[in-house]
A and B are shown apart, each in its own frame.
Chain A
Amino acid sequence: MSQLEYIIQQIINAVSLGSLYALVAVGLSIVFGVLKLTNFAHGDVMMVGAFTTVLLIGIGMPFAPAMLCGILASAVAGFLIERIAYRPIRNAPDVTRLLTSLAVTYILENLGILLFTSSPRNFPLPDILNTSWQLSGGAITFTNINVLTVALTFVSLIGLGWFITRTTIGLGMRAAAEDMQAAQLVGLNVNKVIIIAFIVASAYAGLAGVLWAAQAGVVQPQMGFTPLLKAFVAAIIGGFGSISGALLGGYMLGALEIFIVAFMPDVVVPYRDAIVFALLIAFLLFRPGGLMQPNREIKL
């Protein structure tokens, strides 16, 4: 295996992992933008989508419609979370809102454990998605689920780009994220903007949840924790609340994690997560607005 092929393989891995991080981080950033709230329940909304998909495949539904239903279930979950949990405390102090977000996380995870137990379940990936491609005589390999992940990430993010630049409600989302009062002053219905932001972000969480579980091969009620943590790091690297920043941060984090393992000396590899979190702390200390918003103060 040549050096070039090895590098190409690592780039493929980085893009695939980065896509997952970017998907989760974008959703987290959309909610943070309009509510200035770190929505810890975002990871659990992923779980809702993944479980729905697994259960539907389990009763015989094909993968694609099952995934669509999973995304829909996540969107509905996001809608309900905003309506029931977040809207009543929208103007409460930050600590209250943060604790509410944690409470929603615990409720959803425990509900998952009650319904499905905490032991992992197999994700029944159709054979076609497990098919792997061998290039250069096996030096470069990837499976169709990698291809699907990257393709759906690209397509859905292009869709998001269209939404936030071409539709009034999408523009309203960006406007409300910048200045909620000014958004009201031009006549935007802020409740509508916020609920749609939640639905869109949760649909992204659903898509990310299904793809994450499909790649991992398992679902379980606490599956949202790791992606949430990674997305949090990605969003901070990019600039919390900025959608393009989340995207950038997601791919950078994916690349960083893959490249540490692939190119660093063996002694460094076990410290991958430590390096990532050291980077996070460095960003929080020296560039709290992330790459995209150099002058912004961060507020969790």
Chain B
Amino acid sequence: MATADPLLRVDNLEVNFGAVRALKGVSLDVREGEVIALVGANGAGKSTTLRSISGLARAKSGTVTFAGTVINKRTAPQIVRLGIAHSPEGRRLFGGLSVAENLRLGACTRSDPDGVARDTEKMFVLFPILRERWKQLAGTLSGGEQQQLALARALMAAPRLLLLDEPSLGVAPLLVRHIFDALAELKRQGMTMLLVEQNIALALELADRAYVLRTGKVALSGIASELRVDDRVAQAYLGAAE
């Protein structure tokens, strides 16, 4: 497996919103079992990158290849079935549905009830609060609880690749720690993740490698532990604020 193809390869992706060029040729790859951080200032194109991978945004050009299949013409539900789950920015839970119902919909592409039941138990271990809130409407949970539910809902699809968009957004600091502990546990279990995060320190601590986006382009990439002490990361952020 030494020369195995990456699980996900994004190649020269360009995405426009009308006149806004959100992505101007982004390339990155994620290998099986890796945690990759995607960081950068607000508006750099991080969410758009994730949305083009999961089929919510359409690329003008470039390709997304997942496990050997070109997926950027597929619909979002098809992409979930291929094995990519996306926990989106702002969580996007079904607020009028209970915790149980949200998780059940997370698993709606699966046809192995036993596996779903096992994974539900796993979610209770990872996020014990979900068991307590089981019957409660998702809209009534706190920000941190909602974020845990959003992660669990994505995990219920039993994905091969997990896309995470700002799991610390709107979460109380104490719970941020808790959520990143859970992500570290997932990493230990071998889950492949592409993580978008405003909190660079946290992201680089968890990730194996990282890409720094700046106004729709990859400004910098490398080993996470090296980027942690690299001044150019901070410069990339400052540059975007010019």
Name A residues whose Cβ lies closer than 8 Å to a Cβ of B.
Answer: 165, 168, 171-172, 174-175, 178-179, 181-190
Most buried by B among A175, A183, A186, A187: A186
CA distance A232 to B105 in the complex (A): 30
Most buried by A among B55, B94, B101: B94
Which residues of A sit under 8 angstroms from B93, Cβ to Cβ?
182
Q: Which of A172, A178, A179, A185 contacts B76 (CB 8 A)?
A: A185
**B92 pairs with A187, CB closer than 8 A:** no
Q: What distance in Å separates the Cβ of B231 from its nearest Cβ neighbour in chain A?
A: 37
Cβ of B175 < 8 Å from any Cβ of A? Answer: no
List 17 A-B pairs, Cβ < 8 Å.
A171-B104, A174-B97, A174-B101, A178-B95, A178-B97, A182-B88, A183-B94, A183-B105, A184-B56, A184-B76, A185-B54, A186-B108, A186-B153, A187-B77, A187-B108, A187-B109, A188-B77
Which residues of A sit under 8 angstroms from B95, Cβ to Cβ?
178
CA distance A172 to B101 in the complex (A): 10
CA distance A175 to B86 in the complex (A): 16
**A174 pairs with B157, CB closer than 8 A:** no
Q: Which of B82-122 contact A (CB under 8 A)?
A: 86, 88, 92-97, 101, 104-106, 108-109
Cβ of B81 < 8 Å from any Cβ of A? Answer: yes
Which residues of A sit under 8 angstroms from B233, Cβ to Cβ?
none
**A168 pairs with B105, CB closer than 8 A:** yes
How many residues in B have their beta carbons less than 8 Å from beta carbons of A? 24
Cβ of B80 < 8 Å from any Cβ of A? Answer: yes
CA distance A141 to B80 in the complex (A): 58
For the A-B complex with A165-B101, A179-B92, A186-B80 known, give 17 more contacts whose Cβ atoms are closer than 8 Å.
A168-B105, A168-B108, A171-B101, A172-B105, A174-B96, A174-B101, A175-B94, A178-B94, A179-B94, A182-B94, A185-B56, A185-B88, A186-B109, A186-B153, A187-B76, A187-B81, A189-B77
CA distance A175 to B95 in the complex (A): 9
Known contacts A168-B104, A172-B105; A187/B94 CB under 8 A: no
**A185 pairs with B108, CB closer than 8 A:** no
